[in-house]
């Protein structure tokens, strides 16, 4: 009798676990107000206004004056980028910025695609909206929302936009692309109140897409864009048709993840690990702990006291460039830390790198962009962190990403993982570094959605 009762309890526990695991929870979020003062009694202006990126002599003269007054410092001998941005290399970058970089020409490039602003929850949200110009008869473009991260911007996607809106392969999907700036980044207004986190950004972007008339759409995200688009899928899974990611750190060390860490090196096939997974994970202490510590100092600052260091960066263009561009070196390939020039122009042009810096400089958004860390890390546990995603998902696994995420770990969070692609090359800023590879993977993922 005792054995039967025990068996019934165990069986009941297993059934309860499976039911809870399969239960599709939906994230809840209430409307917010991020403008100055109290919210109005009635809804304000909901119009969509064209926006043009501009510059003038006064802006450039102020920039040049500040660059000319910078105080150089010396790097240690044989230090390369292991102490941060190498000062000797920085002087060359600054010289190019001051004498050769043409911001006016880059502004024209930024305005190649239409920009707009619209007010949502009290703040102006900026976005680029690129529509296909030669849509074949009978073909409907698939709406695609692409969300950037830090220290990137909407400009990261400029190399991908023509590949998605005007694909060369007749059998490829044609996309209508929307690239917003996260509030507090680039040309989106910064929230004026505390508490604007990834869930708030997700809610705002849902409102943006609804205002544009989209009933369903796909998403793509890396860095913070991963979390914002994940939250969008958790908020309204019936609206997000599919989501594509290139960054998905393991949310929690669940039992499956822990077991895979402990036993994966010895029994890799048991957890679906291949040679690449084993190489990137083991030894665990060196690859997951030491490397994380080396590259996460910025995170601790921005998650605790962003306004302190942010004020200095907002005053100094050279300091801002060093702070941002160092990430485009070490996050692209950790081995670039051992190069005198940080490998900056091995994967990016200096014009593109400085254009991203100028978006931060001219908009004065570095402090508000860093506050996004404070808001997202202010609570030890968020409801969405334990909530699985049931929206069809595609994942592009780039070899030089900051955090290597095996397929098993991705599946713990994203229960409808449709594609998992080992990418041939690329790091954290893969949309900007490898636009063709990323566009092709998005194409392949969306094709799987059409077959269903």
Residues 54-80 pLDDT 10s: 999 999 999 999 999 999 999 999 999
User: How confident is the model over 320-333, as a mean pLDDT?
Assistant: 98
Residue 23: the pLDDT is 54
Q: Could you tell me the pLDDT band of residue 138, with boundaries at 50, 70 and 90?
A: confident
* Whether the predicted pLDDT of 362 surpasses 80: yes
Residue 252: the pLDDT is 62
- Tell me the C-alpha to C-alpha distance, in Å, between residue 347 and each of 6, 395, 427: 61, 22, 10
Which of these is catalytic: 116, 127, 323, 373? 373
Q: Could you tell me the pLDDT band of residue 333, with boundaries at 50, 70 and 90?
A: very high
CA gap 58, 35 in Å, rounded = 29
Cα-Cα end-to-end distance for the chain: 49
- Of 223, 222, 259, give the one whose Cα is nearest residue 412: 259
CA gap 296, 182 in Å, rounded = 22
428 an active-site residue?
Answer: yes
- Tell me the C-alpha to C-alpha distance, in Å, between residue 429 and each of 192, 241, 298, 402, 438: 29, 24, 17, 10, 11
pTM above 0.75, yes or no: yes
Mind listing the pLDDT tens digit for each residue in 220-269?
Answer: 999 999 999 999 999 999 999 999 999 999 866 678 888 998 999 999 99
User: What is the CA angle 405-410-416, rounded to 5?
Assistant: 155
| Residues of the chain above pLDDT 90, percent | 83
Q: CATH assignment of 48-450, given 3.40.50.460, 1.10.357.10, 3.40.50.1820, 3.40.190.170?
A: 3.40.50.1820
Residue 42 CB coordination number (10 Å): 5
| Residues of the chain above pLDDT 70, percent | 94
Residue 18: the pLDDT is 43
Give backbone dihedrals phi and psi of 212, rounded to 5 degrees, phi first: -80, -5
- Of 420, 449, 424, give the one whose Cα is nearest residue 437: 424
CA gap 165, 177 in Å, rounded = 7
* Whether the predicted pLDDT of 6 surpasses 50: no
Residue 286: the pLDDT is 86
Which of these is catalytic: 124, 172, 197, 223? 223
373 an active-site residue?
Answer: yes
64 an active-site residue?
Answer: no
* Whether the predicted pLDDT of 2 surpasses 50: no
For 320-338, b where at least 16 C-beta lie within 10 A, e where not — what string?
Answer: bbbbbbbbbbbbbbbebbe
Q: Which stretch of DSSP H or E encloses residue 393?
A: strand 393-397
Residue 164 CB coordination number (10 Å): 27
Q: Could you tell me the pLDDT band of residue 210, with boundaries at 50, 70 and 90?
A: very high
Residues found in the chain? 452
**Average pLDDT of the chain, as a whole number:** 92
* Whether the predicted pLDDT of 12 surpasses 90: no
Which of these is catalytic: 126, 220, 384, 428? 428
Mind listing the pLDDT tens digit for each residue in 267-306?
Answer: 999 999 999 999 999 998 788 888 888 999 999 999 999 9
* Whether the predicted pLDDT of 178 surpasses 50: yes
E strand segments, 233-355: 240-245
- Of 320, 346, 369, 349, give the one whose Cα is nearest residue 109: 349
């Amino acid at each position: 009798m005792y054995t039967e009762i025990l068996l019934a309890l165990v069986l009941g526990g297993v059934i309860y676990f499976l039911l809870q695991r399969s239960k599709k929870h939906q994230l809840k979020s209430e409307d917010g107000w991020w403008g100055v003062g109290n919210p109005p009694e009635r809804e304000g202006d909901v119009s969509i206004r064209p926006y043009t990126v501009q510059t003038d002599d006064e802006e450039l003269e102020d920039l040049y004056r500040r660059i000319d007054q910078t105080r150089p410092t010396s790097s240690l001998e044989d230090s390369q980028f292991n102490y941060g941005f190498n000062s000797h290399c920085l002087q060359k970058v600054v010289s190019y910025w001051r004498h050769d970089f043409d911001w006016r020409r880059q502004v024209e490039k930024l305005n190649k695609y239409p920009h707009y602003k619209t007010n949502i929850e009290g703040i102006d949200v900026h976005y680029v909206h690129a529509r296909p110009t030669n849509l074949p008869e009978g073909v409907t473009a698939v709406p695609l929302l692409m969300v950037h991260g830090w220290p990137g911007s909407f400009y990261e996607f400029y190399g991908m936009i023509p590949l998605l809106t005007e694909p060369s392969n007749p059998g490829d999907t044609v996309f209508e692309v929307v690239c917003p700036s996260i509030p507090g980044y680039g040309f989106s207004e910064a929230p004026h109140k505390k508490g604007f986190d990834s869930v708030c950004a997700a809610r705002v972007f849902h409102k943006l897409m609804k205002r544009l008339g989209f009933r369903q759409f796909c998403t793509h995200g890396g860095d913070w864009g991963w979390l914002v688009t994940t939250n969008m899928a958790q908020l309204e899974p019936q609206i997000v048709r599919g989501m594509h990611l290139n960054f998905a750190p393991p949310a929690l060390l669940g039992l499956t993840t822990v077991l895979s860490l402990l036993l994966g090196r010895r029994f890799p096939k048991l957890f679906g690990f291949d040679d690449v997974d084993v190489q990137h994970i083991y030894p665990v202490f060196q690859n997951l702990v030491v490397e994380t510590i080396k590259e996460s100092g910025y995170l601790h600052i921005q998650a605790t006291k962003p306004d302190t260091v942010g004020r200095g960066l907002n005053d100094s263009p050279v300091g801002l460039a060093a702070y941002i561009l160092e990430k485009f070196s070490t996050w692209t390939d950790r081995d670039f830390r051992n190069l005198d020039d940080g490998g900056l122009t091995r994967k990016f042009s200096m014009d593109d790198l400085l254009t991203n810096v100028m978006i931060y400089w001219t908009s004065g958004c570095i402090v508000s962009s860093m506050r996004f860390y404070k808001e997202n890390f202010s609570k030890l546990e968020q409801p969405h962190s334990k909530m699985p995603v049931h929206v069809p998902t595609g994942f592009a696994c780039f070899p030089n990403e900051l955090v290597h995420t095996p397929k098993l770990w991705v599946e713990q969070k994203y229960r409808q993982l449709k594609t998992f692609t080992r990418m041939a090359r690329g790091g954290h800023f893969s949309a900007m570094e490898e636009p063709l590879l990323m566009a092709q993977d998005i194409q392949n993922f969306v094709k799987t959605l059409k077959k269903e």
